[in-house]
Amino acid sequence: MGIKQIVEENKEFEHSKFLDELRSKDSKLNFMRETVEPEENNGDLNGVPFVVKDAICTENVVTSAGSKIIEDYKPVFDATVVKKLKKEGATFYGKTNQDEFGFGTFSTNCAFETPKNPHDSERVVGGSSGGAGAVVAATDYPIISIGESTGGSITNPAAYNGVIGITPTYGRVSRQGLIDYGNSLDKIGVLTKTVYGAAKGLEVISGHDKNDQTTVKGAVPAFSNNLEEREDLKIGVPKQYIELEGMEEGVRKNFEESLEFFKDQGFTVEEVDVPLLDADYSVAAYYVIAMAEASTNLARFSGIRYGMEFDTEEYSDFNEYFSKVRTEGFGEEAKRRILLGTYTRQAGYRDQYYVKAAKVRRKIINQLKEIFQDYDVLISPSMPNIAPKIEEAESMSPEEVYAMDTLTVGPNLAGMPMISVPNGTSEGMPTGLHVIGDHFEEQKILDVAYTFERGEKK
């Protein structure tokens, strides 16, 4: 049974069975931050279950963004995306674990529990929306799992868990109620089992929101109804991506097979040179911008208006108190990003780092826009590897971890939509195919993913 059957054939959803399954799988794999009892809900989605990344506000339900500093925060409101899902008749089941404030690639920077991969519990689930990907793979029922990507956090867990993950164009989906990582980069999207489910979920959460002035006006396309198999598109394969050093053989092999599929289907497939997608530009610019924005966003967590508090009487001045709260409340990666982010935007260094990175970002956007004049979509492997072992991930240096994002940060910096679709396995673990489109071309990437999904089943 899929989301399509539930929605179109009005199938009764077995909530108590799903809750039992969710809780029993979670007790072994830790993908949930909190599970809630489902409430009766009517509407077009006919009770399809949904879960939400911990960084997205949910009324009266813990929203801690994976961080100890706001461990007990229970918002008094639902984020716009949550409101929209409830209004359409989806049923809320709880929050999923993630890297603290989205800072990470494996969900090993979560202040609570490290989620484990449903395909092999010794391996990571990816990040930062790691719990969001794992819950889809772990449960047999269809589910809409709401994730968020700043630099690849939907694609990555989708690939590592063998599920679909769509990251929309920046501005397509309201960020109201999201605890921001980097405001110019953050995008809320959907992880689920089928391309239809991704199209449906995206359609429900998209649209202009007066509470987020970066959202675009205009009607939301009927992505799910419009889905169609295509055979006439022109696909570009970025040279910088396929030549990436360190790409695992199994990943490469699956990707090459997918190219054959598209050629057989009638698509034109060509290698394209996109020099600025090289890690020297994209990863460097991404981490400067993301950390600069993160460090300003985290300034509010000072133990006064939000989160962790201590007895102020015991501290002689504000600085001492503030340092105590932030020392206790933030994890190591958050602290690293506060330091680096503050450094790159301070007077004297700003031009050399932050402003330069912003210029590189503009050039990346221009270069990709130019490529999309000639090509309908770009494709590549979603991640250069299969999900590493938890131990292995924890022993990597920050630079090694950041390099894992080479395939995803470019399109994320450009605010372009992307979808990761399962593409076979390597060593028993899933690998993903990444389809990237021009701004607001979600339908095209969904169609390419749909064509691929149907082809896999034939």
Active site residues: 53, 128, 153
The two three-digit tokens of residue 164, written as one number: 């679909």
One-letter amino acid identity for 368? L
Q: How far is the CB of 353 from ligand GLN (least distance, A)?
A: 16
Residue 425's CB: how many other CB atoms inside 10 A? 14
Handedness of CA 357, 363, 369, 372 (dihedral sign): negative
CA–CA separation, 99 vs 82, rounded Å? 20
Which residue's CB is nearer to ligand GLN, number 91 or number 153?
Answer: 153
Which residue's CB is nearer to ligand GLN, number 128 or number 224?
Answer: 128
Let me know: does 22 contact 64? Beta carbons within 8 Å: no
> Residue of minimal CB distance from ligand GLN?
153
Q: How far is the CB of 394 from ligand GLN (least distance, A)?
A: 15
Let me know: does 421 contact 433? Beta carbons within 8 Å: yes
Q: How far is the CB of 295 from ligand GLN (least distance, A)?
A: 13
Which residue's CB is nearer to ligand GLN, number 157 or number 201?
Answer: 157
Which residue's CB is nearer to ligand GLN, number 147 or number 236?
Answer: 147
CA–CA separation, 380 vs 136, rounded Å? 23
The two three-digit tokens of residue 387, written as one number: 């999900």
Count of residues in the chain:
458
Q: How far is the CB of 24 from ligand GLN (least distance, A)?
A: 29
Which residue's CB is nearer to ligand GLN, number 291 or number 378?
Answer: 291
Which residue's CB is nearer to ligand GLN, number 112 or number 141?
Answer: 112
Q: How far is the CB of 194 from ligand GLN (least distance, A)?
A: 23
CA–CA separation, 192 vs 228, rounded Å? 19
Q: Which residues bind to ligand GLN, rule: CB under 6 A?
A: 102-105, 128, 149-153, 181, 290, 405
Q: How far is the CB of 39 from ligand GLN (least distance, A)?
A: 30
Q: What are phi and psi of 385, to 5 degrees?
A: -145, 175
Which residue's CB is nearer to ligand GLN, number 247 or number 409?
Answer: 409
Q: How far is the CB of 153 from ligand GLN (least distance, A)?
A: 3
- What is the enclosing helix (H) or strand (E) of 412? helix 406-413
Q: How far apart are the first and last CA of the chain?
A: 18
Q: What one-character DSSP code corresponds to residue 9?
A: S
Helices 195-205 and 442-457 cross at an angle (nearest 10°) of 160
CA–CA separation, 337 vs 349, rounded Å? 16
Let me know: does 380 contact 371? Beta carbons within 8 Å: no
Upper half-sphere CA count for residue 166 (Cβ side, 13 Å):
33
Upper half-sphere CA count for residue 319 (Cβ side, 13 Å):
0
Q: How far is the CB of 418 from ligand GLN (least distance, A)?
A: 12
108 φψ region: left (φ > 0), alpha (ψ -120 to 50), beta (else): alpha
Handedness of CA 115, 191, 2, 19 (dihedral sign): positive
Which residue's CB is nearer to ligand GLN, number 114 or number 194?
Answer: 114
User: How does DSSP assign 156-190, residue by residue?
Assistant: HHHHHHT-EEEE--TTTB--TTB--S-TTT-EEEE
The two three-digit tokens of residue 375, written as one number: 């090509």
